[in-house]
Amino acid sequence: MNRLGWIAIRALCGLLSFALLAELALAEEVVIRPQPMAGALDNPLKGWCPYTNAGKIQQPYSMVFQYISWRELEPVENDFRFEAWEKSWDDQAGAGKHVIFRVYVDYPAKPSGLPDWLRKRGVKETAYQEHGGGKSPDYDDPRVVAGLERLIAALGKRYNQHPRVAFIQLGLLGFWGEWHTYPQVKLYASAETERRVIDAYRKAFPDKCLMVRYARGYAGAQDWIGFHDDMFPQDVDNGQDWSFLAGLRREKRMDNWKVAVVGGEMVPGEAERWLGGDFETTQTMLERSHFTWVGPYGPALKASNAENYLERCEALVRQMGYDFQITEVKYPEKWKAKDSVRLEIQGRNLGVAPFYYPWSVEWALLDPAGKVVRTFPTKWDLRRWLPGEFSQTTMLDLDLLPGNYRLALGIRDPWTDRPAIRFANDLPVVDGWTILSNISVTE
């Protein structure tokens, strides 16, 4: 045989060897493709966030909304009553739920939220009749601004690392803490006061997602801040230059949702309208705005027999925020007690937004009775699972006793210190752990 013939044979043998190795590799790898299923309706930090004192809550929810006045929090200068307020979080329907809160100074038709110790020092208040009437303080009074900055610093010291607190609305300024005094525009705070409030919050809460009502002025220049629209979905993108998204577009904040939460309140009293004939608009506005949550007023507070009402509520909750689904899991067929094994998952986020905190994504091995034998935290950044597909790999250093185990995946809530986020898959869940497969470990 000539030289060219030998080269051809050697090349062919090489190709056959490569194919055989590839086939063996495939044979030694297990691939699981879990069945999809509708996502959970009460996954943490998304969905409905209702009042707890506005009647029975009709649907599953994971968060509650808390208002409180400055006067209640600081009735005496530098004497903050946080513990008393936190006790109210567990009243009625709030127990076991994460919290979104807003502090206000002026809530129309309610007693003034300005602390008496500031009033006694002569801070000016202007009466108004709109929205049920009230008294608007001089937000630019140096004593008020300094007091707000101290309050925000105290809030941050208490709640920046508080795992129960989900998101915080800046509040404080304007009617209801919504950063306007319309139609009495002269009563509102100056741009400088807005800036000082935003800077104080940013300094006090480096680890929490903060939300402001409007993308304008100094707030509109921030690429880290979230926003809330309290006339959802009517005013989200209605063609007017004052609409919610029009403001975000002007300030080039349309991508803030990728790093900062967006949410807010449905038009009060109109749940049946927006879950009825105008439901298509509601879905469109949710997708455009990338809402993660709706509250404090929302469909969860409405008992309705309207056709498709409950089904549409559930569809809307699943569309909000994140909705993670596992599409594929790969791992070695053979596991030895002292081995390192490579795991890979493919998945997709079916929602309109990411998850906004770096909760720990962990693998676990459970014994056949469901007891956790070993956990394996990953370095995966959950916040990067944007809408669409995602993939992750990791290595597990086993160091186990031989035996039979159940392979599980979980995302740990730092408040409860247990896995909490459920996947949109038809898979068993044991104490929060999503069971993916059975594993046999040999010596």
Q: Which domains does the chain have, with CATH numbers?
A: 29-39+324-441 (2.70.50.60), 47-319 (3.20.20)
Mean pLDDT of 184-210: 99
Mean pLDDT of 210-221: 98
* Mean pLDDT, rounded, of the chain: 94
- pLDDT of 91: 85
Query: First vs last Cα of the chain: how many Å apart?
Result: 49
Going by C-alpha positions, the residue among 262, 278, 274, 264 that lies closest to residue 302 is 274
pLDDT one-digit tens code per residue, 259-288? 999 999 999 999 999 999 999 999 999 999
- Split at pLDDT 50, 70, 90, the class of 414 is very high
Q: Residue 313 above 70 pLDDT?
A: yes
3-state secondary structure the chain: CCHHHHHHHHHHHHHHHHHHHHHHHHHCEEEECCCECCCCCCCCCCEECCCCCCCCCCCCCCEEEEEEEHHHHCCECCECCHHHHHHHCCCCCCCCCEEEEEEECECCCCCCCCCHHHHCCCCCEEEECHHHCEEEECCCCHHHHHHHHHHHHHHHHHHCCCCCEEEEECCCCCECCCCCCCCCHHHCCCHHHHHHHHHHHHHHCCCCEEEECCCCHHHHCCCCCEEECCCECCCCCCCCCCCHHHHHHHCCCCCHHHCCCEEECECCCCHHHHCCCCHHHHHHHHHHHCCCEECCCCHHHCCCCCCCHHHHHHHHHHHCCCCEEEEEEEEECCEECCCEEEEEEEEEECCCCCCCCCCEEEEEEECCCCCEEEEEECCCCHHHCCCEEEEEEEEEECCCCCEEEEEEEEEEECCCCEECCCCCECCCEECCEEEEEEEEEEC
Q: How far is CA 297 from the centre of its chain?
A: 18
Q: Residue 69 above 60 pLDDT?
A: yes
pLDDT one-digit tens code per residue, 10-31? 444 443 333 333 333 444 899 9
- Split at pLDDT 50, 70, 90, the class of 243 is very high
Q: What is the pTM of this model?
A: 0.93
Which range, 91-95, 300-304, 319-323, is most confident? 319-323
Between 21 and 254, name the one with better pLDDT.
254
- pLDDT of 12: 40
- pLDDT of 16: 35
- pLDDT of 236: 98
What CA–CA distance (Å, rounded) separates 32 from 328? 6
- For 409, list phi and psi in degrees, rounded to 5: -130, 140
- pLDDT of 92: 80
If one counts every other C-beta atom within 10 angstroms of the C-beta of residue 311, the result is: 10
Strands 418-419, 372-377: pairing kind: unpaired
- pLDDT of 54: 82
Q: Residue 3 above 60 pLDDT?
A: no
Which of 20-34, 126-140, 241-255, 384-398 has the weakest average pLDDT? 20-34
Q: Which amino acid is at 160?
A: N
What CA–CA distance (Å, rounded) separates 195 from 181? 17
pLDDT one-digit tens code per residue, 84-135? 999 999 988 999 999 999 999 999 999 999 999 999 999 999 999 999 999 9
- pLDDT of 224: 98
Q: Residue 7 above 80 pLDDT?
A: no
Q: Residue 41 above 70 pLDDT?
A: yes
